[in-house]
Structure 1
Amino acid sequence: MRLGIWAKAVRLSLYAVFRNKSPQPPKGGSKIGEFKSPLGGWGLFLLTTFTGVFLLNYLDSPTAKPVAATERVKQQFSHDLAVFRALIETRFLPLAERSASADSMKTAFLACRRAYKKLEPFAEYYLPATTRLVNGPPLPEIEAEDNRISEPGGLQVIEELIFPEFDVRRRNDLIREIKKLRRELVRYADFEKDTDLTDAHVFDALRLQIFRIITLGISGFDTPRCLNALPEAATSVHTLSTYLSFYNTKTPDFYRLVQILQSTEKHLNQASDFNTFDRFQFITEFANPLSTQVLAFQQQRNIQPFNEIRALRTDAKTLFDTNAFNPDFYAPTVATRSNPAKILLGKKLFSDPVLSAGDDPPGGKRSCASCHQPDKAFTDGLPKNASLSGRGFVRRNTPTLLNAALQNAQFYDLRAQTLENQSSEVIQNVDEMHGSLEYAARTLQQNNVYRAWFEKAFPTLRDSIEPIHIQNALAAYERSLVRLNSRFDRAMREQNNGTGKPLLSTEERLGFNLFMGKAKCGTCHFLPLFNGTVPPVFTQTESEVIGVPVQPNRRQIDPDPGRYALFRLDPLKYAFKTPTVRNIVQTSPYMHNGAYQTLENVLEFYNQGGGRGLGIRLENQTLPTDKLDLTDREQSALLAFLKTLSDHN
């Protein structure tokens, strides 16, 4: 065995396991999952080291049988998992059990977080349910339809126990959470033998990890208290380098990729401060070129992206490509996906009051466009629109339909899973349209022009127009209302305004960096859609409890219970969907009750810490309650950035 390989393996293992070692090596036996190691802490460390030595020597040996890249990926994952488990067992757990040094515990915790980041690309890809209990948000997981609440667990829960300060009175809670984490890691152990891994899967997982870094990593989404986001992002990039090295072709494309990976990692390692980090520069100069080059290298290796419908297209070079998103992913069936004829029919129906007609009352009074007005970004400019009868108001503020297709649930309370269901509820709502889909279908059936349009839109239509055809046509039109070409988007594509000058001013760039950093907006309004649809797979839309008052600065919460009205689960009291902030300048007033007339009012609400910051008693608020302490200049910069998200710019 060559000494170079020995030295490399020992150095790597020492760095991974004892980079910030505790004062004394652990003593006695150690558990890994349910297995009690008779070797003790040092024995476990040596076992991990020798395993890495053996693997590195075997894989690098010129006489060894070539090992497929996918097998090397599995072996690397298993090795990194062993290191992670060893860190917990031999370092972090003993400190939690006995140490009085909070700094030592924090150092060990941060080492564990970096070790997790080496597993994240494939853990998130193949084992998302387990991963939620390893590194999920420190909030209960709610399965509303099943009336079930599951307690959170994992690194983010542990983070809250030791940051910013460790409370020795909660030592038992800390120990319990670490042991829970250790048990969850056992579920990762079968990855190597049970996973059907192909080269296409590897590249798919790695590109999603790049998008995860851009959207969640650098925003501090999973490091809200320790603010270790940037070093962890560097670890993630280094992990990408490790896995991509298994596909070394010794070609210019590969060396170009290596160069981008190295410069990206170096840039992150040199970042000195979470709040002042230039995320705009990072995305445009490093992350976007990286995702583009990984795709190019993948295709150069003749490993084609998957040919399947996804929210984020599999062949998108960056998150900001003109057609990066496919709204048809959210259509309930293949048959309900859009076509040009459906869209044109839906646009016509959208403005036709026939949809509010019915046997009782006779005649149509209102169309979809009455409240969703195109010249107001498909809103109505009112806190709440008048009810159809004119006596009182509808229940909630009218939301924009721009980009509404890019979420997996509709309405402020997420009660409709599809746009088809959403249109049905609005049409038949007594206060909103008081129509009848059945009546509208019969009426449209008798109109020869409409009949021809329906037959073109639905080639399989044989007998009569049905309510589902109306619903699907409206949904197809709404799916055509995707607008992702604002000045901000063009800046992310490094376009210019024709004069050679940057598309975003210095103030607007500062506003974006605040949005994704100090102001914490990007941890709920996720880049690049700026709504609650969670990247990088965009299959789940989140709701939050932020504590909106009845009026600005009032210490009284709005009485609308939100999702709690549908599912009587305490964490859902006053929970509402996280809406998009795209085109926000055109969609005032704001919040589900239209309480805030200006963006300045909204920013101040968040700056104060939401409802609890205003003095409202709200135990289940999910919005961080700490004041943001944004200066007037910073709030002005945020406002300037939000204006760049308008698609008419």
Structure 2
Amino acid sequence: MVGVSIQATIMIKTSILFVFLTVLQLVNANTKPSVFLKQDLIKNYALLVEEVNQLQRATLVEKIDWEALTQVFFDSRNAYKNVELLVAFLDPEFINDYINGAPLLKIERKTDDMTILNPKGFQIAEEVLFEKNLPEFKLLVEQLQARIIEFGNRLPSLYLSERIVFEAMRTQVIRITALGITGFDSPSGFNSLVENNITLKNLEKTASAYYGFLNENEQVKLKTIFKQGHSFFEVKEMDAFNRYQFIKQFLNPIYGIILQVQKELFIETKTMVVKSGYAVNYETENIFDTDFFNADYFANYANSGIEEKKIALGKTLFYDPIISKNNKRACASCHHPEKGFTDGLKTSVAFNEIGHIDRNSPTLINAIFSTRFFWDNRAGSPEAQAEHVIFNPKELNTNYNEILGKLNSNSTYKKLFQEAYPEIKEINRQTTLSSLSAFIQSLKSFNSVFDQSIKGKIPVPKDVEAGFNLFTGKAACATCHFIPTFSGLVPPLYVETESEVLGVPAYNDINKAILDQDLGRYGNGRPKEKADFYKNSFKTATIRNIELTAPYMHNGVFNTLEEVVEFYNIGGGHGWGIAPENTTLPSDELNLNATEIKQLIIFMQSLTDTTGMTAVPTTLPTYKDDLLKDRKIGGVY
């Protein structure tokens, strides 16, 4: 026993010495991996500048060889992909706006007026290149060249630390998962396999800068997982690329391993600096973890109170029609738990059963993971969303004076609020909103059959894997319904919520097709968004729990998933002959066959998960008042 103790002591001392030497090495500026990586980045960025210069010169030749020009363009794209990991992290806004953002019109973020930004960068240039529009392509390349040179001039002064390198690596893993292998940032798809392979090689090269600070077992672990990742690129085209297995066997594991290495090297993580200032919870080790997102980032409600008590109180309020003017209508009136917190109607019944609300009731599961709310993106927080519903004459049709008066007159509610907010003496607007938001925030769904299988907890059904590969590949669904929410929450930072113009019909009859006249985001009441390109634009809803949330689209026009898939399969509004000029959906048909459509739907159905969310309260706080004593749990209608 004594020998064992001595041996253990020696091992502990050896470990402490190793940690000390590792930290000492990292502190030494001459051996910092970040210093080497910065130098390497500047060198490779110079190669990018040269490639783009060659591209610009190639547009000036007297007779254009489009095949040769395309190759020069892809050489430039490849050079960008070789530096993307760090440059996209160092200045994500600049890269998104000018170098490699989506080919869509945008509103300038930093002005008070409505300034529209035309798309710039590689993605829009690729679209124009394949249209063979030489004048427009020349202009885009000149703009791209100027911006790349501009960023290159700033690059030497940009700060790079070990912490930034590790955060950039993990962000790049998310980018590969949600944007790279799905084809989002490669509009034509012709160069996608090459680009993703380059991105992977650059990720490995960046990680290898830290191999010298790891023991042999850790080095072998990293080298083995990267070898596993490279094996997926032995296919000849992206259509044959198994995205599901690539995520399961490489991307998810490497995402966790990079964090483990960061901690083993005693490199601080961002959560040591700011706990809740980011959309992604940096401490998670899997992109499909239940806690991958930091829910507090998306909510505005106060941190005061006891969370479990707030959730329980919020649930009671959610099912209590006391928060409506006539005491007959609750939040649950339009959000039934057994229907994925929707109501199964094309558009919900309006207040006092007079007509209908203008749009389909969206799910509340994972609703918190968004930076915009409602189909038209008008609300900027779940609290603002709740207030729109409270005040809307067609919905709850009430105000805080009425709600608070009823709540404060009830001893049970007073007790529940006091237990949830011990430091606050009376029920008020903020505690009411905070409680409702806490309950909605608790409706998180990341434990479906698909989630469990891609995390390796259960075997994956064959059709689920095939359907996911279609969703992220041939069907191109994941270019709008982003991993892992499968909604319009945009990766890799998840701080923006997209809306799309699809050309949705007013009626489900292709022979009498008429574009739905709802202007969507254009009419959401935000002056800066009253832009023509937002006409008929609607929030990209989540695919999670879609099996439960029929009918579909903002107007509930499609009754089944088969109808939805067929709409996209023939090119959306283009196929129906009703697509407006500002449609963001490509006109291409998907050419999915019957088997592929079936597999795609099976995958979407595998995203169903309402575990622990569907239990309804059995009682509500009682009143003696004749108008309040017979309230129905969940509302009358």
TM-score of the pair, normalised by structure 2: 0.86
Contact 1:542 1:577 in 2 (8 A): yes
Contact 2:503 2:583 in 1 (8 A): yes
**Structure 1 residues 192 and 611: CA distance shift in structure 2, 3 A:** closer
The 3-state SS of whatever aligns with 1:556 is coil
Distance in structure 2 (CA, Å) of the matches to 1:174 and 1:371: 49
**Structure 1 residues 219 and 617: CA distance shift in structure 2, 3 A:** closer
Contact 2:371 2:497 in 1 (8 A): yes
The 5 Å alignment of 1:392-403 reads 392-403=355-366
Partner of 1:277: 241
Partner of 1:603: 565
Shift of 1:426: 0.3
The 5 Å alignment of 1:480-559 reads 480-496=442-458, 502=459, 504-552=460-508, 553=510, 554-559=512-517
Contact 1:397 1:592 in 2 (8 A): yes
Partner of 1:461: 424
* AA at the equivalent of 2:223: V
Range with greater deviation from structure 2 (609-618 or 298-307): 298-307
Shift of 1:336: 6.5
Partner of 2:295: 327
**Structure 1 residues 457 and 379: CA distance shift in structure 2, 3 A:** same
1:641 aligns with 2:603: yes
Contact 1:136 1:152 in 2 (8 A): yes
1:586 aligns with 2:548: yes
Provide, for residues 260-286 of structure 1, a one-character-per-residue CA deviation record: whole Å limited to 9, x for no partner.
223313422x12222232111111112
**Structure 1 residues 158 and 466: CA distance shift in structure 2, 3 A:** same
Provide, for residues 288-317 of structure 1, a one-character-per-residue CA deviation record: whole Å limited to 9, x for no partner.
222122222222212242212232210111
Which of residues 155, 170, 192 is equivalent to 2:122? 155
Contact 1:257 1:297 in 2 (8 A): no
Distance in structure 1 (CA, Å) of the matches to 2:398 and 2:598: 45
1:352 aligns with 2:320: yes
**Structure 1 residues 276 and 266: CA distance shift in structure 2, 3 A:** closer
Contact 1:588 1:597 in 2 (8 A): yes
1:142 aligns with 2:107: yes
Partner of 2:58: 95
1:306 aligns with 2:261: no
Shift of 1:342: 1.1
The 3-state SS of whatever aligns with 2:609 is coil
The 5 Å alignment of 1:67-86 reads 67-86=31-50
Contact 1:328 1:338 in 2 (8 A): no
Distance in structure 2 (CA, Å) of the matches to 1:482 and 1:468: 23
The 3-state SS of whatever aligns with 1:282 is helix
The 3-state SS of whatever aligns with 2:240 is coil
**Structure 1 residues 568 and 311: CA distance shift in structure 2, 3 A:** closer
* AA at the equivalent of 1:632: A
**Structure 1 residues 323 and 426: CA distance shift in structure 2, 3 A:** same
Which of residues 399, 404, 410 is equivalent to 2:373? 410
* AA at the equivalent of 1:347: K
Distance in structure 1 (CA, Å) of the matches to 2:574 and 2:479: 19
Provide, for residues 331-390 of structure 1, a one-character-per-residue CA deviation record: whole Å limited to 9, x for no partner.
226537971111111001001111103xxxxx4120101111111111111101221132
1:207 aligns with 2:174: no
Provide, for residues 522-566 of structure 1, a one-character-per-residue CA deviation record: whole Å limited to 9, x for no partner.
000001110000112111110000011011224211111101113
Contact 1:590 1:598 in 2 (8 A): yes
Select the structure with the greater relative contact order (CA < 8 A; seq sep ≥ 6).
Answer: 2
Contact 1:545 1:621 in 2 (8 A): yes
Shift of 1:190: 4.8
1:259 aligns with 2:224: yes
**Dislocated runs of 4+, deviation >6 Å:** none
Identity of aligned residues (%): 35
1:564 aligns with 2:522: yes
Partner of 1:12: none
CA RMSD, Structure 1 to Structure 2 (Å) = 1.9
Distance in structure 1 (CA, Å) of the matches to 2:304 and 2:593: 49
1:365 aligns with 2:321: no
Distance in structure 2 (CA, Å) of the matches to 1:111 and 1:339: 53
* Count of residues paired in the alignment: 568
Shift of 1:572: 0.4
Distance in structure 1 (CA, Å) of the matches to 2:310 and 2:214: 50
Shift of 1:461: 1.1
Which of residues 284, 294, 297 is equivalent to 2:261? 297
Provide, for residues 407-455 of structure 1, a one-character-per-residue CA deviation record: whole Å limited to 9, x for no partner.
1111001111111111111011101111212211122122222112212
**Structure 1 residues 327 and 513: CA distance shift in structure 2, 3 A:** same
The 3-state SS of whatever aligns with 1:389 is helix
Distance in structure 1 (CA, Å) of the matches to 2:134 and 2:610: 55
The 3-state SS of whatever aligns with 1:592 is coil
Distance in structure 2 (CA, Å) of the matches to 1:427 and 1:622: 33
Shift of 1:595: 0.5
Contact 1:337 1:476 in 2 (8 A): no
Distance in structure 1 (CA, Å) of the matches to 2:42 and 2:49: 10
**Structure 1 residues 628 and 525: CA distance shift in structure 2, 3 A:** same
**Structure 1 residues 617 and 290: CA distance shift in structure 2, 3 A:** closer
1:382 aligns with 2:345: yes
Distance in structure 2 (CA, Å) of the matches to 1:479 and 1:283: 27
**Structure 1 residues 594 and 479: CA distance shift in structure 2, 3 A:** same
TM-score of the pair, normalised by structure 1: 0.84
Range with greater deviation from structure 2 (551-560 or 512-521): 551-560
Partner of 2:619: none
Distance in structure 2 (CA, Å) of the matches to 1:370 and 1:200: 48
The 3-state SS of whatever aligns with 2:401 is helix
Provide, for residues 555-613 of structure 1, a one-character-per-residue CA deviation record: whole Å limited to 9, x for no partner.
21111110111332100000000000110010000000010001100000000111122
Distance in structure 2 (CA, Å) of the matches to 1:304 and 1:321: 22
Shift of 1:199: 1.1
Unaligned runs of 5+ in 2: 1-27, 612-637
Unaligned runs of 5+ in 1: 1-63, 358-362, 497-501
Distance in structure 2 (CA, Å) of the matches to 1:569 and 1:173: 23
Contact 1:516 1:523 in 2 (8 A): yes
Contact 2:464 2:603 in 1 (8 A): yes
Contact 1:349 1:474 in 2 (8 A): yes
Shift of 1:617: 4.2
The 3-state SS of whatever aligns with 1:395 is coil
Distance in structure 2 (CA, Å) of the matches to 1:630 and 1:195: 47
Partner of 1:444: 407
